[in-house]
Amino acid sequence: MKRRQFIASSIATPLLAGSAFRGRIKAEDEKARREYYELRMYHLRRGPKQKLFDDFFREVSLPEMNRNGIGAVGVFSVMVGPDSSTMYLLIPHKSI
């Protein structure tokens, strides 16, 4: 019985050491690719100012974010419901 345990542990030890090394490399790789997300919510009133807000984000705010190195920004709005006049912006950042 002790021989079986010795053989099993001698086979498992190099495998565990290799997986720990791969895990450390994977953690460093994952840390380099990590992104942080900012969620902004704008509660708007219904009416003509809503189009003005949309135009501002389309023509001014989003191009400025792209010039500052912020890539694909998600802009979402709710179509139906009590929060139908809410705009959501999901902005990715490389660091805090």
Over 90: is that where the pLDDT of 39 sits?
yes
Tens of pLDDT, residues 5-27:
655 566 656 655 555 555 566 66
Beta bridge partners of residue 77, listed in sequence order = 87
How confident is the model at residue 38, as a pLDDT? Answer: 92
- 81, 43 in Cβ contact below 8 A? no
Instruction: Look at residue 17 in the predicted model and tell me its pLDDT.
Output: 55
Task: Kindly report the pTM of this predicted structure.
Answer: 0.58
Q: What is the pLDDT of residue 16?
A: 54
Q: Report the pLDDT value the prediction gives residue 26, as an integer from 0 to 100.
A: 63
E strand spans, the chain: 36-43, 74-77, 86-93
Classify 78 as helix, strand or coil: coil
pLDDT tens digit string along 42-75? 888 877 778 888 888 889 998 998 898 888 888 8
